[in-house]
């Protein structure tokens, strides 16, 4: 199962802005919800007050009409009762004295008095169960109710407390029912459509204002957070510049520091800047002490190597002299002198290698000139044929596939680099010697040179047993040796590849190794002559013939 791509993390600035906007949105949502509920509750309380007043007027309407109170304006159209109890008011109802106009007529008594609002629903049920019902429409006319609407209103408990009721085809109402002493029941309902519309408009305004406010807050938060995080950006820039400094070798002088205005211990960013300055000071002191210690070690190694060259040369000379003395020497003496001479040569090679590494560590200037790497490869392969006749040596001066120029009939392609010819020759010699010593007889070794953009590529490949991972990771360390199976001949000092790495690094190049089982490939990349950043030097003489 393929793992999904990691999700990109937000920057601190974006997270802070998002947190601020989320908090403001939460506060705005809570305030909008609370204020909407409070507004709805307030409007509903007002509706309930009006409902109680209307209910009181409706319950007292028959008595007031009996006492001769002036009735309200006559309705323009008499409704029919939802139960079919009446068909309209007669003439006697106009003066409020007829029995049918008071209770049995088709117009509820409440509509015979002034003060009822548009949309008010009134139901008056006489003690004998005869209901009279209707509601005022937008023009002030009385309209009748359907059977379903009337049944819903008559089902309200006459406890004198307002409640909410959904009337079919009319909407949501606040309704109250009261029962008089004579057994009649009066039901009054006022619509909640106005309350709902007011709350909806209020919510729309709240949402629009909240969205605009959040947009303004996000813009301001972005500006303010960016301004407040600028000291942290300066601290990060200081750390980045330090990370790009060459601290691995040479004398260390870390001049980069966080500015004083970003090291105020009273702020969090200032604490980070101050801690970074202290850490840089500690690192500089530690690296300076390490450099002084390494300098002393290098000086000791260089001096010791230099001093050992003379006695070793004397030992070799005396060993050769003894072997050339006239007269026959005992065989044991000849063998002993031969071993002395052999070990003296090996120690001399080791001393020379250590002296070279010490000079490279000290940064000694190289003798720069334009060097044809292809010509050096020709010479190195020719020498390897003589030193290792039991190996198959191949030279490939054609450009690698997709890179460089093709070979022509006039000779090998030139692969010019700027460097020290003697040291670069030593790189080739050490790589080929490594392939010869650490692979069995019959191994094929291929040396390839090609141009690769602004670099010259040198590749040494063999089909030997490869390099195991524990050794591959420390292959270019000094005195790194393989196990006994790789050292079929005594005498490996463990400095050959370390010298290759140091020489290549001194030339501004890079070396890498691929030691998979069944093959080992060393790849060296050096800046080509004429590339950007490469100094111009005198052209070399004629290249060696292949």
3-state secondary structure 370-382: EEEHHHHHHHHHH
Secondary structure of residue 544 in the 3-state scheme: coil
Calculate the CA dihedral of residues 25, 26, 27, 32 and round it to 10 degrees. 80
**459-491 residue pLDDT tens:** 999 988 888 777 777 788 777 665 543 444 444
Residue 502 pLDDT > 60, yes or no? yes
Q: b/e map of 478-496 (b: 16 or more CB within 10 Å)?
A: bebebeeebeeeeebbebb
Q: Please give the residue that has the higher pLDDT: either 385 or 83.
A: 385
How far apart (Å, rounded) are the C-alpha atoms in residues 251 and 247?
Answer: 8
CB 141, CB 76: distance < 8 Å:
yes
pLDDT for 481: 65
Q: Rounded to whole angstroms, what are the CA distances from 83 to 127, 144, 149, 204?
A: 15, 10, 11, 42
- Checking 293-298 for CB contacts under 8 A at 24+ apart, the result is 294/361, 298/358, 298/361, 298/362
Residue 80 has pLDDT above 50, yes or no: no
pLDDT digits (tens, 9 = 90+) for 146-188: 888 888 888 888 888 999 999 888 889 999 999 887 778 889 9
The pLDDT, as a whole number, for residue 414 is: 67
Of 284, 203, 166, whose CA–CA distance to 38 is shortest?
A: 203
Q: What is the pLDDT of residue 484?
A: 42
Q: What is the pLDDT of residue 403?
A: 43
Alpha carbons 140 and 410: distance in angstroms, whole number: 115
**pLDDT given at position 63:** 67
- The confidence score (pLDDT) of residue 445 equals 92
- The stretches of 87-167 forming alpha helices (DSSP H) are 99, 147-154
**What's the count of helices (H) and strands (E) in the chain, helices before strands?**
10, 13
What domains does the chain contain, in order, with CATH numbers? 12-199 (no CATH), 247-257+265-358 (1.10.287.130), 365-527 (3.30.565.10)
What would the pLDDT profile of 227-252 be if each residue is shown by its tens digit?
Answer: 888 888 888 888 888 888 877 766 77
Q: Which position has the higher pLDDT, 200 or 127?
A: 200
Q: What is the mean pLDDT of residues 384-405?
A: 74
Tokens 């060696």: give the residue: 544
User: 416-428, pLDDT tens digit by residue?
Assistant: 888 888 889 989 9
**Counting every residue, how long is the chain?**
546
Name the nearest CA neighbour of 448 among 521, 395, 375: 395
**What pLDDT sits at residue 241?**
86
Read off the DSSP letter of residue 127.
T
Greatest Cα-to-Cα distance within the chain, rounded to the nearest angstrom: 171
Q: What confidence score (pLDDT) does residue 175 get? A: 93
pTM score over 0.85: no
Tell which wins on pLDDT, 4 or 47: 47
Which range in 132-141, 146-155, 529-538 is most confidently predicted, on average pLDDT? 146-155
Q: At residue 69, does pLDDT exceed 60?
A: no
Selection from 539, 536, 515 nearest residue 527 by Cα = 536
Of residues 180 and 29, the one with the higher pLDDT is 29
Determine the pLDDT at residue 219: 92
Predicted confidence (pLDDT) at residue 68 exceeds the cutoff of 60: no
């Amino acid at each position: 199962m393929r793992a999904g791509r990691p999700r990109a993390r937000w920057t601190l600035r974006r997270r802070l802005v998002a947190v601020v906007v989320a908090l403001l949105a939460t506060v705005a949502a809570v305030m909008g919800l609370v204020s909407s509920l409070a507004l709805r509750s307030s409007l509903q309380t007002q509706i309930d007050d009006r409902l109680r007043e209307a209910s009181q007027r409706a319950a007292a309407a028959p008595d007031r009409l009996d006492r001769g109170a002036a009735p309200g304006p006559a309705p323009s159209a008499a409704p029919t009762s939802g139960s079919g109890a009446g068909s309209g008011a007669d003439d006697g109802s106009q003066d409020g004295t007829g029995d049918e106009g008071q209770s049995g007529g088709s117009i509820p008594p409440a509509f015979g008095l002034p003060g009822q609002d548009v949309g008010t629903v009134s139901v008056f049920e006489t003690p004998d169960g005869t209901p009279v019902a209707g509601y005022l429409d937008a023009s002030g006319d009385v309209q009748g109710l359907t059977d379903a609407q009337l049944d819903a209103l008559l089902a309200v408990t006459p406890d004198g407390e307002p409640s909410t009721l959904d009337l079919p085809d009319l909407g949501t109402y606040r309704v109250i029912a009261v029962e008089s002493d004579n057994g009649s029941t009066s039901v009054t309902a006022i619509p909640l459509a106005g309350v709902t519309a007011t709350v909806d408009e209020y919510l729309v305004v709240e949402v629009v204002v909240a969205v605009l406010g959040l947009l303004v807050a996000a813009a301001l938060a972005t500006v303010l957070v960016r301004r407040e995080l600028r000291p942290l950006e300066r601290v990060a820039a200081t750390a980045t510049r330090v990370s790009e400094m060459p601290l691995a070798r040479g004398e260390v002088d870390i001049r980069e520091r966080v500015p004083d205005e970003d090291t105020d211990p009273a702020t969090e960013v200032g604490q980070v800047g101050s801690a970074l300055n202290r850490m840089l000071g500690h690192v500089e002191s530690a690296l300076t002490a390490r450099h002084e210690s390494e300098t002393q070690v290098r000086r000791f190694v260089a001096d010791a190597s230099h001093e050992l060259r003379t006695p070793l040369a004397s030992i070799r000379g005396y060993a050769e002299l003894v072997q050339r003395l006239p007269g026959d020497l005992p065989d044991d003496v000849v063998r002993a002198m031969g071993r002395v001479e052999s070990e003296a040569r090996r120690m001399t090679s080791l001393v020379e290698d250590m002296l070279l590494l010490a000079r490279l560590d000290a940064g000694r200037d190289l003798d720069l000139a334009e060097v044809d790497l292809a010509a050096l490869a020709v010479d190195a392969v020719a020498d390897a044929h003589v030193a290792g006749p039991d190996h198959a040596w191949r030279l490939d001066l054609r450009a690698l596939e997709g890179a460089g120029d093709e070979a022509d009939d006039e000779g090998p392609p030139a692969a010019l680099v700027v460097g020290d010819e003697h040291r670069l020759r030593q790189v080739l010699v050490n790589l080929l010697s490594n392939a010869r010593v650490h692979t069995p007889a019959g191994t094929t070794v291929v040396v390839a040179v090609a141009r690769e953009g602004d670099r010259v590529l040198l590749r040494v490949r063999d089909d030997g047993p490869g390099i195991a991972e524990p050794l591959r990771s420390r292959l270019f360390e000094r005195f790194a040796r393989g196990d006994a199976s790789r050292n079929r001949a005594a005498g490996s000092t463990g400095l050959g590849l370390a010298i290759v790495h140091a020489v290549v690094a001194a030339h501004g190049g890079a070396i890498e190794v691929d030691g998979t089982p069944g093959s080992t490939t060393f790849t060296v990349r050096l800046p080509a002559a004429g590339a950007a950043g490469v100094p111009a030097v005198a052209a070399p003489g004629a290249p060696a013939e292949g």
